[in-house]
């Protein structure tokens, strides 16, 4: 329940296994973002418990939250990059705030940039990059601390279909390396193409939870949906 009285999530119970890839779908305002926010402690539940990586998150002391955030990478629809820093600096930033040594920074940042395919643009500023490249920077930043989980809140919302595919491909690659990935989206094409676990949220409640789901319920193999 949000402070303004809106009941965002109602009696939700969700378990996500390590290393899995999960889609949270549903129209806007249905509660997908709220679930993610609970996971990185942007909000606390009015009722119930949140556990992430074996740790109890909702009652965690405020002083421990930064450490949670270093283990849970978050990617947003609007990228949330620092405009006055280069790609390299943006990614390095997430490492520096943890007090990492220069040595580690010099090692990790290029690795992450390479993973997302932006090594050649490390000196550019966000406004010089295309949307997809900015999002890849954001993903690199989210990964630089080697988090176990990557949360994505509408990561392709601002991107065109081609770029969207690229980003989803990237996320898949990251998932194959062992990172748990949770993507909240209302992009049906993406969901249908990837056929992963799909959890549908409607009006704050979980309506369906399918292992290899489609965006819409009850669709068979013969879907002709495109996106």
Partner 1 sequence: MQITAIATVAVTIFMLGSFLYARETLSKLSSGMLSRIEISVFLSDRVDDKQGRAMSEVIGADPRVSAVTYIPKAEGLRQLQDRLRGQIDTSLLTSNPLPNAIRVRVKDPDAVPAVAQSIQKMRDVANVEYDQATVAKVLRLTETIAKLGLIMIVVLIFAAAVIISNTIRLTVFARRREIAIMQLVGATNLYIRAPFMAEGFIAGTLGALVAVIVLAILHAELLPRVMVTLSFIPFSTAHVDEVRLMFELLAAGAVVGVIGAWVSVSRYLRV
> Which stretches of the chain bind partner 1, using CB under 8 A?
40-42, 62-63, 65-70, 74, 80-82, 93-94, 97-99, 141, 145
The C-alpha atoms of residue 167 and residue 133 are separated, in whole angstroms, by 9
Joined tokens for residue 176: 């194959």
Nearer to partner 1, 93 or 125 (CB): 93
Nearer to partner 1, 26 or 73 (CB): 73
Least CB distance to partner 1 at residue 187 (A):
23
Nearer to partner 1, 89 or 210 (CB): 89
Q: Which residues neighbour 97 within 8 Å (Cβ) at sequence distance 6 or greater?
A: none
The C-alpha atoms of residue 120 and residue 31 are separated, in whole angstroms, by 38
The C-alpha atoms of residue 59 and residue 51 are separated, in whole angstroms, by 10
Least CB distance to partner 1 at residue 222 (A):
42
Nearer to partner 1, 46 or 223 (CB): 46
The C-alpha atoms of residue 8 and residue 25 are separated, in whole angstroms, by 14
């Amino acid at each position: 329940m949000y402070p303004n009285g809106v009941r965002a999530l109602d009696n939700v119970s969700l378990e996500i296994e390590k290393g899995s890839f999960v889609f949270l779908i549903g129209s806007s305002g249905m509660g997908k973002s709220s679930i993610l926010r609970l996971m990185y402690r942007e909000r606390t539940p009015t009722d119930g418990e949140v556990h992430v990586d074996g740790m109890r998150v909702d009652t965690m002391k405020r002083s421990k939250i930064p450490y949670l955030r270093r283990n849970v990478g978050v990617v947003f629809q609007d990228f949330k990059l620092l405009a006055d820093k280069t790609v390299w600096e943006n990614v390095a930033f997430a490492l520096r705030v943890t007090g990492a040594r220069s040595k580690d920074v010099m090692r990790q940042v290029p690795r992450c940039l390479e993973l997302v395919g932006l090594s050649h643009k490390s000196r550019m500023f966000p406004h010089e990059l295309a949307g997809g490249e900015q999002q890849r920077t954001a993903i690199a930043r989210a990964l630089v601390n080697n988090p176990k989980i990557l949360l994505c809140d509408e990561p392709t919302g601002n991107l065109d279909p081609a770029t969207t595919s690229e980003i989803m491909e990237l996320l898949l690659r990251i998932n194959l390396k062992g990172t748990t990935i949770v993507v909240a989206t209302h992009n049906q094409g993406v969901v249908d193409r990837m056929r992963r676990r799909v959890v549908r949220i409607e009006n704050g409640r979980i309506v369906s939870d399918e292992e290899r789901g489609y965006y819409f319920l009850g669709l068979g193999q013969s879907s002709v949906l495109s996106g």
